[in-house]
Amino acid sequence: MSHFHATITITVAVALSTSSPSPAADVDFHRDVRPILVKHCVACHGPRSHKAGLRLDAATLIHKGGESGRAVVAKQPAQSLLLTRLTTNDPALRMPAEAKPLSKNDISVIRNWIVGGAVIPTNETIPASPEDHWAWKTPGRSQRLTNGDNPIDVYFDAEHRKQSITPRPAARPEHLLRRVSLDLVGLPPTRKQLHDFLTNPADPTYAKNVDRLLKSPHHGERWGRHWMDIWRYTDWFGLGKEVRYSQKSIWRWRDWIVESLNSDLGYDRMVVDMLAADEIAPTDLDRLRATGFLTRGFNLFNRNYWLDDVVEHTAKAFMGLTLNCCRCHDHKYDPLSQDEYYSWRAFFEPYRVRLDSLTANTSPDAPAISRVYDADLDAKTLFYIRGDEKNVDKNKVISPVIPSLFGSFFQSAKPINLPPQAWYPGLNTLAVKSQREDITRRVAANKKRIADTGKRLEAQQARLDKIGTKKTPQALFSDDFKMARPRDWQEIGSPWTIVDGHLHNQNQSQNGKQSRYECTQLPPRDFVATSKFQITGGNTRSIGLCFDISKPGQFNVYISPSGQQVSLAQTFNGKNTYPGRGKQAVKNGEIYEVTIAVRDRLVNAWVNGQFRLVVKLPIPRRDGRLGISTYQATAEFLRFSFSALDPAASLFTNLESGKNSTPPQAVITRESLLSTIAGLKDELALTEQDLGVLALESRSLASRVAAERARYGLDKVDVAPLRKTAAADQLRHEIAAAELAVKRAERKLAAATGNNNSKTTQALKTTADQARKTLDQKRATKPGTKYKPLGKQFPRQSTGRRTALARWITSPANPLTARVAVNHIWTRHFGQPLVDSMFDFGTRTQQPDHLELLDHLATEFIASGWSMKKLHRMIVLSRAYQRESKIDVTDPAETTDPDNRLFRRVQVRQMEGEILRDSLLSLSGQLDATIGGMVLPSAEAENGLRRTIYYRYARDDKFKMLQTFDAAGVEECYRRHETVVPQQSLALANSRMVQSLSGAIGQRLSVPSHSAFVTAAFETILGRGPSSTERSITIEACDKLAGQLASQGLGPVEVRTRVHRHVAHVLVMHNDFLIIR
């Protein structure tokens, strides 16, 4: 609000809404009124700025008023200047100035507070200035909470006595066991664990269960998801394979979080590693994964957006500071300036993201750790006037310093000299090891190829000894399209016509439908098929060779000029997926011959004799036709044939192993066998020669590693002779590799002789000439001391800025970090926080009711080595945590403490979507308990068996069911907000996943006795036994459904199984399954 004019007289009659959210007596200043004033008024009438001498951040100060006198008159809203200025119709007088008027609901709240007497809260604390705010003061240990008992209970026992409140009794043992199990590991207890606990539910037994759960590897998964919410975890997303946000290997950060929580790594160490592991432990690949916190912020398009996110969420996540509010101007509420926003940004200005490869493969898709490093040690932070990146204040010099509110750095940033393995990743032991292993794998593959080729050579030689000179046709079907053969083909889609001895099809329609020419003769299970065609023009999308064509769908190997690729498309029940793609130059007007060989689910494809595609079909095959196809294409077909695949023919499981292969022969003659044998001998010789090249490559790698280690001081030896050896060994390897490349190029050229595609032949000739030229150059080279480095090098220093910031954030003297962390952990156990805001501990957040407890827990947290497991244990062993969640309307406390601010009972909570799915998997006995690993496709979560944390979770790609059950926001999620909506019940009823898993639970528990099954089902699914009424109703339902199914002719076992699957599904839809009591 703007200032109240000193001479204003109250002449406006106040017309207020008659609707009110609550009676006047129920309005509480701190709970109801102050949040409204903080949101709309305190920026101008608060501790930082009190225009017209008026402050509205405390009830006492509102009564005191400003230059115009008292702002409120108790029980007289019409005489209260505050209400008058909020409701006047005169825009020049109405407050807030230059802003939207307050809502009718907000005004009603303020009016009711005044009507109720404008009550000033008891013991209201009024900061003399923003600097005196409770959160800026270092937390202290409470002496009265250190008597040896659980400090949580000591505190609340005293509070309850003070308020004359009796807390709720302890929860039922079965409810408590389920609560603590879901809280600590995110999985319900087993029936055996339930029975064991109910036999002896005493405190020692409960404590043993707590310790068991804290030791479980699933604890890290449960709490890893909580911290991933807070730290804004997201898998990468972009366009195609282009990474635009986050990183492809970000899942390694997720694994680090889970592992760190399981090992009880100190929270302070976790924060430090996430912000600065590259400076503190620059060669420790395990710790470098932690910097995923910063690589997650990667933004391909806008560096300012990237750093804005980093500034905002490092401050919010670790310290509860809303620094983002002063990006464009000084903070309106907290003593934080715009300069200090950019000073915080300066800590991060130099850093960038890089990928340290974990294998010899350095492509973007290769296994790697995404980590940060300071790329520009002299990076300048610009000051943007009003936050406009186009309007730079060139006179401002920004340095990395903490906000003055907290004093000064206890230790300023100092540049850090990095070890060679940090700025030269190729020297890293793991990187060198992976290259050696890669060579070893290729050697093993070649040896296997030699053995396989030898067997094939023996088999072909044996066949040669038996075959005569007469041709033995092996093709089961062939057609050169010289004439129409309507009995052999069925047309689908646009017309197929034979003109001038060629089959033509024009399918240029944009309606996206495929045209097919299906052969009516079914092929054998394992076959070779060839289609030769010419693209005759147009905006061709694809021309394919289809197989297993049947009612549910088909497989289609096609080439695409528009996509420059050869791919396999899978169509099943109207849905297209693409399990295999390969690169292939395709041009209109040229002739192509596509050959596919299929054995069971393994598909190999050649284009013009070149091996181009390997696919292991993801689903079982179906018997069906073969055919040729067009999709938005114009083409003419010259020949089509298929034959049985020779059992002796080898198919390949990867492109590397088949790169020099030729398609299996469709017709075998003595001449073709001799040609095949000659080809196999050539292949054998080339593979043996490749073994020699690999031996030289291994020697070259060892020499270069030795030279580089000596060069950069890792080994204290004379580097000069090592450099000469490295250069000589590298040259030997390059000459041998060039000789092999010449032989391979000449072989391909010889194989293409006679090919009527002159462009292809010319391209192969050019390749062979270039290979010979390269060989001549290598042979002419004289050995020296130069050799290829082991990879890219990066700056040899880091600024140390992020280390200094991380050390300060986690300093025991920092007043915020431990408080924020404790508040997060507390909230996720109790369902309600100690500090209402999870990310803003600034002056807009009133001093919490239980600050003494919060501060004591924070200091104990620090003293314990920032051990989260010790804090978990203290919380869940407290009587406060173990109380029941029942709301008793006859309890007087429900009137005096309706919001449970005194934690006299435990809040009822609802399962998150992840825990719902994981619980079903666990109870069905199907959960794959593997910890960690690569991110899994979100589409597989429907039928997958891993915990939900391992499935892809990105802005545009996440398991859809999670969104129904309050999924975490990718951009920000400091606390999930529970919703109760009809879609949740519908999802439980209709989801195929829920139906399948609940049915599996029922089938797993099924026994001949309905009564025994009902007991087992209630105890397993709901974590409690059935009441007598529930038991009788459920047994009656089982009997009734069993009778209906039996009348349909089903056998007794099938009837019982179906009934029990159905009952289990009904129990999963029960409220007691979804909620945590």
Going by pLDDT thresholds of 50, 70 and 90, the confidence category of residue 699 is very high
What is the Rg, in whole angstroms, of the alpha carbon atoms belonging to the chain? 37
Q: What is the pLDDT of residues 473-515, one digit of tens each?
A: 567 889 999 999 999 999 998 899 998 889 998 887 656 688 9
Weakest mean pLDDT among 15-24, 730-739, 1004-1013: 15-24
Of 604, 656, 689, the closest CA to residue 442 belongs to: 656
Weakest mean pLDDT among 368-372, 719-723, 745-749, 890-894: 745-749
CATH number for the domain harbouring residue 631: 2.60.120.560
Q: In this structure, are 415 and 310 located in the same domain? A: yes
Write the CA distances from 188 to 178, 726, 1002, 1011, integer angstroms.
6, 60, 16, 23
Q: What per-residue confidence (pLDDT) applies to 707?
A: 96
- Joined tokens for residue 724: 């000469």
Mean of the pLDDT values across residues 947-967? 90
In a domain, 468, yes or no: no
Q: In this structure, are 276 and 368 located in the same domain? A: yes
Q: What is the pLDDT of residues 329-356, one digit of tens each?
A: 998 889 999 999 999 999 999 999 999 9
- Which residues does residue 592 pair with via DSSP β-bridges, in sequence order? 533
Write the CA distances from 484 to 481, 506, 517, 545, 856, integer angstroms.
7, 17, 12, 19, 90
Give the chain's domain count.
Answer: 6
CA-to-CA distance for 979 and 963, rounded, in angstroms? 11
Secondary structure class of 1045 (helix, strand, coil) = helix
β-pairing verdict for 591-599 and 527-537: antiparallel
Residues 639 and 530: beta-carbon distance below 8 Å = yes
Q: What is the pLDDT of residues 746-758, one digit of tens each?
A: 888 887 665 555 6
Q: Which of 646, 667, 688 is the last residue of a domain?
A: 667
In a domain, 14, yes or no: no
Q: What is the pLDDT of residues 832-848, one digit of tens each?
A: 999 999 999 998 898 99
* Exposure class string for 145-160: b at 16+ Cβ within 10 A, else e: beeeebbbbbbbeebb
Would the pLDDT of 3 be above 50? no
Chain centroid offset of residue 788 CA: 37
Q: In this structure, are 195 and 301 located in the same domain? A: no
Chain centroid offset of residue 629 CA: 38
Q: In this structure, are 208 and 316 located in the same domain? A: no
Going by pLDDT thresholds of 50, 70 and 90, the confidence category of residue 472 is low
CA-to-CA distance for 289 and 224, rounded, in angstroms? 14
CA-to-CA distance for 1019 and 173, rounded, in angstroms? 13
Of the ranges 49-58, 168-177, 967-976, the best mean pLDDT one:
168-177
Weakest mean pLDDT among 209-213, 225-229, 466-470, 690-694: 466-470
Would the pLDDT of 159 be above 50? yes
In a domain, 269, yes or no: yes
Secondary structure class of 358 (helix, strand, coil) = coil
Contacts of 352 (CB under 8 A, 6+ apart): 372, 373, 374, 375, 376
- Which residues does residue 1076 pair with via DSSP β-bridges, in sequence order? 909
- Joined tokens for residue 642: 């298929």
Write the CA distances from 997 to 422, 924, 949, integer angstroms.
48, 6, 18
Mean of the pLDDT values across residues 234-263? 93
- Joined tokens for residue 437: 């292993």
Q: What per-residue confidence (pLDDT) applies to 24?
A: 56
Q: What per-residue confidence (pLDDT) applies to 846?
A: 87
Q: What are phi and psi of 930, to 5 degrees?
A: -55, 135
Q: What per-residue confidence (pLDDT) applies to 34?
A: 87
CA-to-CA distance for 750 and 743, rounded, in angstroms? 10
Sign of torsion, CA 840 845 849 853? positive
CA-to-CA distance for 601 and 759, rounded, in angstroms? 34
- Domain membership of residue 581 as a residue range: 475-667
What's the full length of the chain, in residues? Answer: 1077
CA-to-CA distance for 957 and 725, rounded, in angstroms? 52
Q: Which of 625, 650, 667 is the last residue of a domain?
A: 667
Residues 744 and 683: beta-carbon distance below 8 Å = no
Contacts of 72 (CB under 8 A, 6+ apart): 62, 63, 80, 81, 82, 83, 114, 118
Q: In this structure, are 198 and 286 located in the same domain? A: no
Q: Look up the pTM and report it.
A: 0.77
Q: What is the pLDDT of residues 525-576, one digit of tens each?
A: 889 999 999 888 766 678 999 999 998 899 999 998 877 889 999 998 778 8
In a domain, 495, yes or no: yes
Going by pLDDT thresholds of 50, 70 and 90, the confidence category of residue 18 is very low
What is the rounded average pLDDT for all residues in the chain? Answer: 90
Residues 475 and 641: beta-carbon distance below 8 Å = yes
Residues 847 and 125: beta-carbon distance below 8 Å = yes
Secondary structure class of 119 (helix, strand, coil) = coil
High-pLDDT (> 70) share of the chain, %: 94
| Count of C-beta atoms within a 10 Å radius of residue 192 | 8
Residues 1014 and 1063: beta-carbon distance below 8 Å = yes
Q: What per-residue confidence (pLDDT) applies to 460?
A: 79
In a domain, 590, yes or no: yes
Q: In this structure, are 531 and 650 located in the same domain? A: yes
Q: What per-residue confidence (pLDDT) applies to 19?
A: 36
Contacts of 321 (CB under 8 A, 6+ apart): 315, 334, 336, 403, 816, 840, 841, 842
Would the pLDDT of 255 be above 50? yes
| Count of C-beta atoms within a 10 Å radius of residue 98 | 7
CA-to-CA distance for 855 and 155, rounded, in angstroms? 12
CA-to-CA distance for 503 and 499, rounded, in angstroms? 7
Q: Which of 618, 634, 667 is the last residue of a domain?
A: 667
Q: What per-residue confidence (pLDDT) applies to 511?
A: 63
Q: In this structure, are 1018 and 919 located in the same domain? A: yes
- Joined tokens for residue 584: 């292939």
As a dihedral over the C-alpha atoms of residue 823, residue 825, residue 831, residue 836, rounded to 10 degrees, the angle is 10
Q: What per-residue confidence (pLDDT) applies to 130?
A: 79
Q: What per-residue confidence (pLDDT) applies to 931?
A: 96
The type of residue at 1072 is D
In a domain, 17, yes or no: no
Write the CA distances from 854 to 143, 155, 406, 843, integer angstroms.
14, 10, 20, 17
Q: In this structure, are 953 and 892 located in the same domain? A: no
- Which residues does residue 909 pair with via DSSP β-bridges, in sequence order? 1076
- Joined tokens for residue 790: 């082991």
In a domain, 463, yes or no: no
Q: Is the peptide bond before 815 cis (omega within 30 degrees of 0)?
A: no
Q: In this structure, are 523 and 394 located in the same domain? A: no
Q: In this structure, are 897 and 933 located in the same domain? A: no
CA-to-CA distance for 863 and 860, rounded, in angstroms? 5
Q: What per-residue confidence (pLDDT) applies to 265?
A: 97
In a domain, 97, yes or no: yes
CA-to-CA distance for 1070 and 1000, rounded, in angstroms? 17
Q: In this structure, are 486 and 623 located in the same domain? A: yes
Contacts of 286 (CB under 8 A, 6+ apart): 256
Q: In this structure, are 1001 and 1038 located in the same domain? A: yes
Q: What is the pLDDT of residues 575-602, one digit of tens each?
A: 888 999 888 888 888 889 999 999 989 9
Helix (H) or strand (E) holding 1047: none
